[in-house]
Amino acid sequence: MATEKPMVLIVGAGLGGLSLGILLERAQIPFEIFERSSTIRPLGSALSIGPNLIPFLEQIMPIEDFFSASKPMTDVRSFNEQREFVFSSDFSPIEELTGYRQHIIARPVFYELLLRQIPATKMHLNKRVLDIGEKDDKVFLRTADNGYYEGDILIGADGAYSAVRQRLYESLKQKGQILKTDLEDLPFRCTCLVGQTDVLDQDEFPELKEPICQFWSTLGEDKPFSWVTFTTPQNKICWMVVCHLSKQQSKVAEGERFRSMDNSEWGPIAAQSMCDDTKGFPIPGGNGTLTMGDLYDRTPKNLISKVMLEEKMFETWHSGRVALLGDACHKLNPSAGQGAVTAIHDAIALANLIYSLDSTSLTSISRIFALYKAERYPIVLQAYKSSEFLSKRIERSFTGFLARWMSRHTPLWLWKIMLAKSVKYRPTASFLPPVEVKGSVKPDVHLSGTLGEEAFRRRQEQRAQNAQSV
Each residue's pLDDT expressed in tens, for the chain with a length of 470 residues? 456 899 999 999 999 999 999 999 999 999 999 999 988 776 788 999 999 999 999 999 999 999 999 999 999 999 999 999 998 989 999 999 999 999 999 999 999 999 999 999 999 999 999 999 999 999 999 999 999 999 999 999 999 999 999 999 999 999 999 999 999 988 887 888 999 999 999 999 999 999 999 999 998 888 889 999 999 999 999 999 998 887 645 444 555 554 444 444 444 557 888 999 999 999 998 888 999 999 999 999 888 988 888 889 999 999 999 999 999 999 987 655 678 999 999 999 999 999 999 999 999 999 999 999 999 999 999 888 876 655 555 555 656 666 666 666 677 778 888 889 989 999 999 999 999 999 999 999 999 999 999 999 999 999 899 888 86
Burial classification of residue 469, based on how many CB atoms lie within 10 Å of its CB (0-12 exposed, 13-18 middle, 19 or more buried): exposed
Question: What is the dihedral angle through the alpha carbons of 415, 421, 424, 426, rounded to the nearest 10 degrees?
Answer: -70
| 180 neighbors 194 (Cβ within 8 angstroms) | no
CA distance 341 to 72: 17
pLDDT at residue number 403: 61
pLDDT at residue number 396: 57
Which neighbouring-strand residues pair with 135?
Answer: 138
Burial classification of residue 38, based on how many CB atoms lie within 10 Å of its CB (0-12 exposed, 13-18 middle, 19 or more buried): exposed
- SS3 percent helix, strand, coil of the chain, rounded to 5, is 40, 20, 35
Q: Of 230, 228, 217, whose CA–CA distance to 71 is shortest?
A: 230
pLDDT at residue number 387: 66
Q: Of 105, 129, 102, whose CA–CA distance to 42 is shortest?
A: 105
pLDDT at residue number 262: 45
Instruction: Read off φ and ψ for residue 239, nearest 5 degrees.
Output: -145, 160
CA distance 168 to 318: 9
pLDDT at residue number 388: 64
pLDDT at residue number 269: 53
CA distance 129 to 423: 37
- The pLDDT tens digits of the residues spanning 98-126 come to 999 999 999 999 999 999 999 999 999 99
DSSP state at residue 211: S
pLDDT at residue number 189: 78
Q: Of 381, 375, 249, whose CA–CA distance to 308 is shortest?
A: 249
CA distance 208 to 231: 6
Domains and CATH numbers, the chain: 8-42+117-185+312-461 (3.50.50.60)
pLDDT at residue number 307: 83
Q: Of 104, 82, 337, whose CA–CA distance to 218 is shortest?
A: 82
pLDDT at residue number 261: 40
Q: Of 159, 188, 167, whose CA–CA distance to 329 is shortest?
A: 159
CA distance 358 to 347: 19
Q: What is the pTM of this model?
A: 0.92
